[in-house]
Structures are given as C-alpha cells and as structure tokens.
Structure 1
Amino acid sequence: MITPDYVRRMAAYNAWQNRQMDRAMAGLSLEALEADRAAFWGSILGTANHLLWGDQIWMARFGVGAAPDVKLADSPRMHPTHATWSAERFRMDGRITLWAEKLRAVDLTGRMRWYSGAMEQEVSRPVGALVVHFFNHQTHHRGQIHAMLTAAGAQAPQSDLFAMPETG
C-alpha cells in the first residue's frame, strides 16, 4: 500500500508544516490562541494540543515512545502555553522523523491490534493503513488550524505538498 519513502516524505512534510504553524502561532497572544473558535477542539492551541496528543498516541502504538498521560477529552489542555506546546512539538517531530528514517517495507505490513478508547473496543487494522491515517489526521487538524490562524489575522502556512522545499 505504502512505502518507507512515502513515510519519510510525509514525516518531512509534517515537520515543515509544524514549523510554519509554530511561527504563525508565535505571533498571536495567548488569549488569541485560546479563544474559542467553534472548532471541534475549540481553539488554535486546543487543536494543536490534540494533534500533538494524536501523534504521541500513534507513535506509542507504532512502538516509539510512551503514550500521553492524558485522556483524549483532556488533550486540548495538554500544554497550557505556546512555548510548552512548541518545545514538545519539536521533540515529537524529531521522533517521527527518526522513526521514518529507520522504517523498512516489512514494518508496514501485517496488522496491528489495540484497544481504541475512542471506539471503546478492540480494533485490528492493516499497519500501512494506520500509518496513512496517522499522517491524514495531522493534515486534517492542521487544516482546521490554518483556517483559525487566518481568522485570527495571522499569516497562515503554505500547505501545498508540492511547495515543500526538497529534502534530498
């Protein structure tokens, strides 16, 4: 379904997008970042926190690092400031990049089984499809953040994959 090269490309895209998003968020006050913007996770910072939470939970499922110590419902409040979120986002993007660099084709085969708190049941899915979901989840929530940043008057990031600087 997917290759290690695809995963590496998506990991680079993820890090590039998050660096841009971080810069845009840095230009806003904490009040603007926390303002309820009628998004599913409420605010810019709440959605950014949820996205980080999702990355942590999936990386733990993929065997890289620990799962977050907060529940899904509490994910928007995981990091109370832009600075604390930014530091953890930087670390997570490094973890994702290192994972992607070490990935082999065989690592993307087979099935993964886990208990889904969101679905409240045991789930089994193809690993490749879950990795695609992992990156799709990031893109989905960054799209929401992009819209909220624009509404807040910030310069929203360039999000087109083809516009990403070449990495090699």
Structure 2
Amino acid sequence: MNRHLFVVTGGSGSRRGEISPLAAFRTTRQGADTARNVKHRRPEKMISAEYCRLMARYNSWQNGSLVTAADGLTNADRWKDRGAFFQSIAATLNHLYWADALMLERLKGNPRPEDNIRHSLTSPSDWDEFKTLRSQRNEEIEDWAAQLRDVELCGMLAWYPGDGSTRIEKPKALCAIELFNHQTHHRGQIHAMLTAAGARPEATDLSMLP
C-alpha cells in the first residue's frame, strides 16, 4: 500500500515519517469540514437594540439642532436653491422627514408603506407645521427603538417599492442601520447649507451627545 511522507518540525528539529492513505484522507476531510463550517457559520450580530436607542437619541438631538439653526433664517432663505441634491434646506428637511417615515414603517413590518405615505419635497410648506411634525417623527423613532429587542433585528425584511413591481428583501439589521445612516448623510448636507447661510448648528460628534 502506498504511504504518504510527512515532516514534523519542532523545537528539537524535524523528523520525517509516513502516513497511510486512509489517515491522509481523514486529515484532508477534517480540514475541508472545518473550512466549510467556518464559511457557513452564522455571522456575528451586526447591531443591537441598544445601538438603535443610541442612534434614535442622536437623531432627535441633531434634528433639533438643525431646526433651531434654521429658525433664524427667513422662509425664502430656507427654500433658496443652494446647489444641494434636493436644492434647498427646506426640501432636504422634507425629504428626510418622509424617508424616515417610510423606512420606519418597513422596520415595523409594513411591506407597502408607500400605499399610505407620500414622499414630498414641498410638503409641509409651513415652517411651524414642519417643526411640529419633525418633533413627532423624532419621538416615533425613539419609541420604536425603546421597545425594540435584539431578536427583532435578526432575519430578513421584505417590502415593495412604490410601484409595487419587485419584492425587495434585506437583513433587518441592515435596514435599521440604513435608517440612521441615511439621516446622517442628509443632515450633513443641511448642516453645510446652514453654515453657508450664516447659521450655527451644534456640533455633530456622537461623543458629544447630551
């Protein structure tokens, strides 16, 4: 029967030996099984409910900062086209308000949120009304996070876009992260426009969260 040569190295040098084909097969098979188990191992938890509670608080703080800073501008200044993706401070704030509503409804299990929620860059157009609605949305996000359990961030989330064409399915944890990441992205745009307009929003560092 054919034998397989092996070399063992150690502190006292190395030694040569032989191994049978059966033993060699078992060794190779064990290595393959180990690699397969590592590949298909359940991934570590992406985020926790506590992370969502922290980011919900951060969202409320930062939105309050932007609204307070924008309060010092005229209505015309808030709607002025400043070259941003959604052009103006007010339109970008509106986009964020409606996008928060849609994403939150998906996270709550509504597969067709756009049946009842209509995204608009021009509504609300009244500044005082917007401030009230924005504050309510902040509280809604904090309430959702407060009741969230870690297990509810596991598994997949499915929904349909506005035209109802293709079913979308993504990990729940990823969708929760997207909610907060999307907010941060557009608040950065608003912060830059406010600063250019002479307003002074608060710092954005997460470590400075009150």
Shared fold, TM over 0.5: yes
37, 41, 66: which one pairs with 2:82? 37
Equivalent residue for 1:98?
143
Equivalent residue for 2:9?
none
Deviation string 1:20-68 (CA, Å, 9 cap, x unpaired) is 1110011110000000011111100000000001100011112289756
Q: What runs of 5+ residues in structure 2 fail to find an aligned partner?
A: 1-45
Query: Are 1:152 and 2:197 counterparts?
Result: yes
Identity %: 40
RMSD: 1.9
108, 115, 118: which one pairs with 1:70? 118
8 Å Cα contact 1:22/1:86 also seen in 2: yes
Structure 1 residue 156 displacement after superposition: 2.4
Q: TM-score by structure 2 length? A: 0.73
Query: Are 1:26 and 2:74 counterparts?
Result: no
Equivalent residue for 2:180?
135
Give the residue type in structure 2 aligned to 1:13. Y
Give the residue type in structure 1 aligned to 2:95. H
Matches within 5 A, 1:107-126: 107-117=152-162, 121-126=166-171
Give the residue type in structure 1 aligned to 2:158. R
8 Å Cα contact 2:158/2:170 also seen in 1: yes
Structure 1 residue 118 displacement after superposition: 8.8
Where 1:125 maps in the other structure, the secondary structure is: strand
Give the whole-Å Cα distance in 2 for the aligned partners of 1:54 and 1:37: 21
Aligned pair count reads 162
8 Å Cα contact 1:111/1:126 also seen in 2: yes
